[in-house]
Amino acid sequence: MTDAPSLHPTENRGYRELYATSRGLARHWDRLSERIGDPTAGRALEVGVAAARRLLAELGEVTADHGVYGGPAALGLGARLGDLQNLAVDRFFERNQALRLAVAEVQHLRTLLAYLGAVGESRGAERRAEFCRRWESELESVERGARDAALALGADPDAAVEPIDRSPLGRAAHRVAYAAGAVGEWIDRRAARRRSAASRS
């Protein structure tokens, strides 16, 4: 049954974004769960992957009547986002960094759902609003699990700073990121010394 009224333009764009970000999260977290090297974190990520896939399956029932589909464009964008994270960005990260930034992905997804729920409610589209409220709530436990797993990595700082990608390319990328950070610290120290000297003169 169609959920009246028709989609507002911000909903049209928002639901397409929801398709893309849900697919991107599922693709990224699926690969990250294999790389993270921590059973608890791996399970938390797998729970998130399963939830994102269920969300996508239900989303089609909510948006199809309004001509919004998770077709090749939206889902392809999500796949590219996930692949970019997996193949490029994560290579530069430590295990703790990769997991903490993964938490930000589900936080973004929950914020988008809450926003779309508020829009639907303001327009009297109760079916859409209820879908978004329910999924925003369901993803709370996913976010909490991933966040708790990220915090738990702090119990072993040496392991937490290991590169997420242990391949030769990943280790090389990690060394580049470490060197860039060291250069940044050197620049900041010099700037602080100059400010300190200027304040004394």
Mark whether 44 and 105 lie in a shared domain.
Answer: yes
Mean pLDDT (10-residue bins), the chain, 201 residues: 74 93 93 93 98 95 79 53 58 90 96 98 95 98 98 96 73 51 52 65 66
Task: Based on the fold, state whether residues 143 and 201 are members of the same structural domain.
Answer: no
| Inside any domain, residue 190 | yes
Residue 74 lies in domain: 9-164
pLDDT tens string 158-170: 999 998 876 665 5
Statement to judge: residues 87 and 134 lie in one domain: yes
User: What is the reported pLDDT for 85?
Assistant: 59
Two tokens at 151? Answer: 């915090």
The 10s digit of each residue's pLDDT in 88-115 is 567 778 999 999 999 999 999 999 999 9
Which amino acid appears at position 31 of this protein? Answer: R
Note if the bond before 163 is cis, omega within 30 degrees. no
Q: Residue 177's CB: how many other CB atoms inside 10 A?
A: 16
Q: Say yes or no: 114 and 183 in one domain.
A: no
Residue 78 lies in a domain: yes
Is residue 117 a part of any domain in this protein? Answer: yes
Task: Decide if 4 is inside a domain.
Answer: no
CA dihedral (140, 146, 150, 155) positive or negative: positive
The reported pLDDT for the residue numbered 71 is 59
Q: Which of 95, 197, 88 is nearest to 156 (CA)?
A: 95
Is residue 1 domain-resident?
no
**Count of domains observed in the chain:** 2
Contact yes or no for 91/170 (Cβ under 8 A) = yes
Q: What is the pLDDT of residue 1?
A: 46
Q: Look up residue 172 and give its amino acid.
A: A
Indicate if 128 and 148 belong to the same structural domain.
yes
Domain CATH code at residue 27? 1.20.1260
Check whether residue 112 and residue 61 sit in a common domain: yes
Q: Strand, coil or helix: what is 94?
A: strand
Q: Is residue 3 part of a domain?
A: no
- The answer to whether residue 20 is domain-embedded is yes
Amino acid at 23: R
Residues 57 and 121 in one domain: yes
Same domain, 106 and 176: no
CB atoms within 10 A of CB 22: 27
- At residue 163, φ and ψ (nearest 5 deg) are -65, 140
pTM of whole model > 0.85?
Answer: no
Q: Is residue 155 part of a domain?
A: yes
